[in-house]
Amino acid sequence: MDEGRLIYVMGASGVGKDSLLRELRQHRPDVLVAHRYITRASGSGENCVELSAAEFAERRAQGLFCLAWHAHGLDYGVGIELESWLAAGHTVVLNGSRRALALARARFGKSLLPLLVVADAEVLRRRLLARGRETPAEIEARLARVGDEETLGDIPRLDNGGELAQSVAALEAWIEAPHLTEPSA
């Protein structure tokens, strides 16, 4: 069987990655959306498992993560089951991190297809304020990091600043034809 594909979705906080992936799961049960392990309680609609710092450290020590990173004071991990899914030829979508992209590329090689989800700064600000997890100062700090996306070069981008249904359709089309350079949203 052919090696599967890992669609590695990245983007700034508030860009709507969780909403996009939640809708993708509803429309495309044939595409596996991997959950993450995080050292905080999950947010509404977020596909993750909450672990304490001690639980996370133990699972990491036991080799139960195929990918792990630290960002924003939290630990994130992806279970080793993802490798089995890829070995079985599945298409897997992961809410990844720009900070862990180099690790993901090293681990998954040609199976990895990165995709950057974007939205303009005002959309991000509104969404971050609405979710209520950060202070206004933390939100502004997150927005200041959005410019870091320029360092990602020619990674395809999907605009999720408008209607979610359009973004989901663009993501589905991109998954079907990953040779495209830009999803059309």
Q: Which domains does the chain have, with CATH numbers?
A: 5-175 (3.40.50.300)
**What number is the average pLDDT over the span 37-52?**
79
- Res. 76 pLDDT band, cuts 50 70 90: very high
CA-based nearest residue to 106, from 12, 8, 1, 2: 8
| Residues linked to residue 112 through DSSP beta bridges, in sequence order | 6
> Which of these ranges, 20-24, 44-48, 139-143, has the smallest mean pLDDT?
44-48
Q: Which run of H or E residues covers position 50?
A: strand 48-50
| Better-predicted residue by pLDDT, 99 or 112 | 112
Q: pLDDT exceeding 70 applies to what percent of the chain?
A: 88
